[in-house]
Amino acid sequence: MRNDGGGLIFLMISNEVAQRLQLPFLADMYSKINDTYPVLKELIPDDIPYDTKSSFSLYINHRKTFTGITDIDRSLTMRKFAELIKKTGDLDNNLTVKELGREFRSPGHVPICVASKHLLDERKGHTELVIALMEMAGLIPAGSGCEIMGNNGRASSKKDIIRYAKKNGFVFLEGKEIITAWKQWSK
């Protein structure tokens, strides 16, 4: 992802998992403490052109990482986070939060994005598309992602992404294909 993607590498989770782990949205945290830190009042994300609210939550590192920024450290953090979701599925929320704290620290180098509560019925971003795929496949509702950047500093074109997928033997899915499958699957 780092070599070929070039964009921010992040973790995507379902809203249900975020609720179970009591993970806040960063924008909500900032609004609660902006009297203490007035700069946060000036940085309110109220002008996002594609949404009404940022889906970013905490940034984490697994406690067994060193700096947390290396590929190996970020991979460990994301893998262990998915394992935690699976392991704590039936635990009480407070015990789940304690387990999260035992294994992870924040701030860290892996940003977590939380999917909207009603997934593709509410929002059609990368996070919701990935979580919908995970749910349809019966997998843990967590995934990692990274925007593939072009040499011009912008997101790569669809044509370039299709070419990249073919070259590397990857399946190329458009968001609208996932949305169609989701509508049929979630009936």
**In the structure encoding, which two tokens stand for residue 163, read together?**
């070419």
How many angstroms separate the CA atoms of 22 and 98, rounded?
11
Report pLDDT digits (tens) over 61-82: 999 999 999 999 999 999 999 9
**In the structure encoding, which two tokens stand for residue 42, read together?**
């000036």
**In the structure encoding, which two tokens stand for residue 145, read together?**
């992602």
SS3 179: helix
Predicted confidence at residue 93, as pLDDT, reads 82
**In the structure encoding, which two tokens stand for residue 172, read together?**
């190329």
Average pLDDT over the chain, rounded to an integer? 93
Predicted confidence at residue 100, as pLDDT, reads 96
Q: Is the pLDDT of residue 178 over 80?
A: yes
Q: Is the pLDDT of residue 7 over 80?
A: yes
Beta strands across the sheet bearing 56-62: 56-62, 104-114, 10-13, 142-145
Q: Which domains does the chain have, with CATH numbers?
A: 10-155 (3.90.870.10)
Report pLDDT digits (tens) over 129-170: 999 999 999 999 999 999 899 889 899 999 999 999 999 999
How many angstroms separate the CA atoms of 120 and 124, rounded?
5
How many angstroms separate the CA atoms of 55 and 10, rounded?
11
How many angstroms separate the CA atoms of 180 and 131, rounded?
14
